Structure 1
Amino acid sequence: MQAWLKKILSADPEIGEIITAQNPYEARISLQTKRPDVITLDVEMPGMDGISFLKEIMSTFPSPVVMVSAYTQENCQTTIRALSLGAVDFIPKPGPGLEEEKETFPQRLLSKVKDAAQARTVLPLSATFPHPNHQGIEAGRRHFLKEQGSLIGIGASTGGTQALSFLLSRLPEEIPPIVIVQHMPPQFTGAFADHLDQVSLLTVKEACSGDRLKRGMAQIIPGGKHGQIQKDQQGLFLSLNENPPVNHHRPSVDVLFQSLALIVREKGIGILLTGMGEDGAHGLLAMRKQGASTLAQDESTSTIFGMPQAAIKLGAVQEVVPLEEMPARLIKIAGL
């Protein structure tokens, strides 16, 4: 695998020197004299697991790291753990029988490495910023929130796993329902939902078509599917489909936000977090035009400022908020 990665990267004229190491101990020696723009790190390595070495990198040589992971449940969980510890992104290894994945792997690898080279190394904020004091609200207020039909939509890409872990871990159980698009392959969104469920007071799950949207619950749109908000006599629910990618993504943040603008209108809250590209900008603008509250993560706390910046330039954003202030701001907008 390492030889293949080197061959792919070496063939691109925009990529300079490539240093390889057979194990973490060789890599540690190289990092003492070389400061690479990007590190690719396999989840499975001889002598030391990828998580242990990632912790060492982030504590001694903070650098943008792209994890390389196999399509297994165990590796999916390990990859999500790596992202929460500061890895910028990951790329799944193409498995047996996945010929299309193998054909597209070189271009996807080059794209992720180049994006990572532009990323800020953002260390986890959880140790720095304490959790806010979550206070319950009276029954009458809870009833009002349930009846008013408020809904929060969040979109994120590169760096979003860290940002979402920080945000959701600081929200109270009384928060209106949340629907999240995080650009991620199908096999990984379930593991990411499980991770968020463990670090949050909320109930977090990978969404299924027909799921009802309830206060105190966050739903992750599955990789490989678009998610849209629908409404019937019983209230709001989710609809999933496999329509063509939008902005090269499925799920797309724009698809989710456009549905919030159409169905939830002024009762919506849209948040665009760190990520490469422009997905979500037009959907957030549609939400703002319908009277929804719209927020974007600021540049200083974004791993990559692409998605928030695109929305800001479009005039879609009412407030630009540092990540550490986002939970309190969201709680206030939600009326808690």
Structure 2
Amino acid sequence: MSETHRKIRVLIVDDSASVRMTLSEIIGSDPDLEVMATAADPYVAVERIRQEVPDVMFLDIELPRMDGITFLRKIMSQRPIPTVICSSVAEAGSDTLMQALEAGAVDVVAKPRVDTTQFLQESRMRICDAAKAAAHAKLRGAQKAPPPPINVEAKLTADAIIPPHSEARAASVRAKQPDTDPIICIGASTGGTEALREVLEKLPADSPAIIIVQHMPEKFTNAFARRLNGLCAIEVKEAEDGDVVQAGRALIAPGNQHMLLQRAGTRYTVQIVDGPHVSRHRPSVDVMFRSASQVAGRNAMGVILTGMGDDGARGLLEMRQSGSHTVAQDEESCIVFGMPKEAIQRGAAAKVMPLNRVAHEIGVYARSTYRPGA
């Protein structure tokens, strides 16, 4: 970070003194971030905001004097601030989680866990990345500068989970792949919860099979899937190991675990595995995309949506090289144009389009690959 680079200023709103202290220590440890102020309730937060407007706000949902969702709605209607929900309440309540996202929150993280060094380190990475992504998110069409590059020190690739195919092996697999029903693979991060809702709500009940990686903490993915299941014509569920990938169903990778596509003949299932963070994430879009490139190839479509970083860019390129149809969301409709930008720059996307055309493109792809009796 250069001396002239201004740090991202963060306001923490949480009624727990220990959580405020832990978050402050985590955020303050990153050279790109600083804690502007902390507040125990929304009324104190308003006074802080009157003195100085933060770049990002971390907000709990259960707060004294005014709940976090009501406060978020008021802030977004008066002076929008990129907001990350940091709460344990949303883990169990799908309605609560979706209300927060629909009210304008750009991301959601679990409260930091300090029980072991590993969990604390994972919380630190997730919280700091969420703060940086939120700071560069577009709210109500406002343009933000591109996010700073992510520190990729010791960053693992999908090789840590799935060995890559050699060019000869990949060519052999492409040549031998029998036709199957189409599989749609979607990856998203910051801003992706609402983007996914927009896409999935438009799909008919007989839509092609879909597998999804959305960067989201453990337990939150189940709440997210349940809420989408109540809004969409297709079935939406958090993936479990061995789940069948089939038309009319979308499977969302569980938080804190990787999801791989598997195939036996013309039948697909998902495998849920543990493992290290890949491209700074678990689940990783790269892991899912690579598995699809190796077992589905031309029978798959890869879609990369809004999000910070480069998770999915390498995997989408592998999908395209294996014969898959590949799509990236365009800059104008992205909350954060990080992951799609990386994919586009690598030549991974055959098409670039606004979010409101993605569902239509899925339908076009499905019709173009329809094979009676396949």
Matching residue of 1:166: 198
Instruction: Give the conservation status (yes or no) of the 8 Å contact 1:31–1:61.
Output: no
Instruction: Give the conservation status (yes or no) of the 8 Å contact 1:10–1:18.
Output: no
Instruction: Identify which range, 2-11 or 187-196, moves more after superposition.
Output: 2-11
Does 1:114 pair with 2:146?
A: no
- Counterparts of 2:31 and 2:289 in 1: how far apart (Å)? 38
Deviations 1:43-78 (A, max 9, x none): 111111111111112222122101111277436652
Matching residue of 1:183: 215
- Counterparts of 2:364 and 2:213 in 1: how far apart (Å)? 22
Does 1:308 pair with 2:308?
A: no
Matched position secondary structure for 1:40: strand
Instruction: Give the conservation status (yes or no) of the 8 Å contact 1:226–1:240.
Output: yes
Return the offset for 1:108: 3.7
> Structure 2 regions of 5+ residues with no counterpart?
1-18, 142-178, 369-374
Deviations 1:258-306 (A, max 9, x none): 1211222112111000111111111111111222211111111111111
Correspondence for 1:209 among 238, 241, 259: 241
Instruction: Identify which range, 323-332 or 30-39, moves more after superposition.
Output: 30-39
Instruction: Identify which range, 266-275 or 284-293, moves more after superposition.
Output: 284-293
Give the AA of the match of 1:227. M
Matched position secondary structure for 2:302: strand
Return the offset for 1:203: 0.3
Does 1:56 pair with 2:88?
A: no
Within 5 A, what are the aligned runs for 1:216-295? 216-233=248-265, 235-295=267-327
- Counterparts of 2:20 and 2:90 in 1: how far apart (Å)? 19
Matching residue of 1:40: 58
- Counterparts of 2:112 and 2:340 in 1: how far apart (Å)? 31
Give the AA of the match of 2:68. G
Identity %: 41
- Counterparts of 1:69 and 1:324 in 2: how far apart (Å)? 30
Return the offset for 1:30: 4.3
- Counterparts of 1:23 and 1:326 in 2: how far apart (Å)? 40
Matching residue of 1:28: 46
TM-score (norm: length of structure 1): 0.85
Give the AA of the match of 1:224. N
Instruction: Give the conservation status (yes or no) of the 8 Å contact 1:183–1:223.
Output: yes
Give the AA of the match of 1:66. V
Distance change in 2, residues 1:250/1:48 (3 Å): same
Distance change in 2, residues 1:55/1:318 (3 Å): same
Give the AA of the match of 2:312. G
Instruction: Give the conservation status (yes or no) of the 8 Å contact 1:71–1:92.
Output: no
> Structure 1 regions of 5+ residues with no counterpart?
124-146
- Counterparts of 2:259 and 2:190 in 1: how far apart (Å)? 19
Instruction: Give the conservation status (yes or no) of the 8 Å contact 2:297–2:324.
Output: yes
Matching residue of 1:74: 92
TM-score (norm: length of structure 2): 0.77
Distance change in 2, residues 1:246/1:109 (3 Å): closer
Instruction: Give the conservation status (yes or no) of the 8 Å contact 2:109–2:217.
Output: no
